């Protein structure tokens, strides 16, 4: 069902510092910050040869990242994003097997303009999972 690892998302307390660390210390190709008001985040994407890293920072007052950073002040891995061919087929199949989809269950438009959904971390060993139609 799931395909490629699309990205690993890391919540960071200082987006500029984190982006600079990836650019200079790790020598990675780092994109420009982009705001995603629908998701309450500002993101920076880092292109690696086999996947991407998504640096996440809160945007707005009730960002879902704010609580995570309150518990993890230095930042930390926030979610993994797996690609699926058809997000509605994937959602229905996973729900039929007992996995919980966060929110209304309707896909939202993700950072790459593609439909995304999130699966409950308690159903996946403590790891929040994003599904992206690719």
Measured from the CB atom, is 44 or 81 closer to Co ion?
81
SS3 124: coil
Measured from the CB atom, is 98 or 113 closer to Co ion?
113
SS3 2: coil
Q: Distance (Å, rounded) from C-alpha 122 to C-alpha 43?
A: 25
Active-site residue 130, yes or no? yes
9 counts as binding Co ion under rule CB under 5 A: yes
CB of 98 to Co ion, least distance (A): 23
> Which whole-number Å values give the CA distances from 122 to 67, 108, 131, in the listed order?
17, 21, 16
Report yes or no: 81 and 39 within 8 Å, Cβ to Cβ: no
- Of 83, 130, 132, 133, the active-site residue reads 130
Site string for Co ion, 51-90 (x = CB under 5 A): ---x--------------------------x---------
CB of 54 to Co ion, least distance (A): 5
Report yes or no: 84 and 107 within 8 Å, Cβ to Cβ: no
Taken as a whole, the chain contains a residue count of 134
Measured from the CB atom, is 24 or 85 closer to Co ion?
85
Residues noted as catalytic = 130
Q: Which parts of this chain interact with Co ion (CB under 5 A)? A: 9, 54, 81, 130
């Amino acid at each position: 069902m799931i395909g490629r690892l699309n990205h690993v998302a890391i919540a960071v307390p200082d987006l500029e510092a984190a982006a600079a660390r990836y650019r200079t210390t790790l020598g990675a190709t780092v994109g420009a910050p982009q705001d995603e008001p629908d998701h309450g985040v500002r993101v920076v994407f880092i292109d690696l040869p086999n996947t991407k890293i998504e640096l996440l920072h809160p945007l707005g007052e009730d960002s879902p990242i704010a609580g995570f950073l309150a518990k993890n002040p230095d930042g930390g891995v926030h979610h993994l994003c797996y690609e699926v061919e058809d997000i509605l087929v994937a959602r229905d199949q996973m729900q039929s097997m007992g996995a919980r989809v966060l929110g209304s269950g309707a896909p939202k438009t993700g950072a790459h303009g593609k439909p995304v959904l999130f699966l409950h971390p308690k159903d996946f060993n403590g790891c929040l999972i994003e599904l992206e139609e690719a």
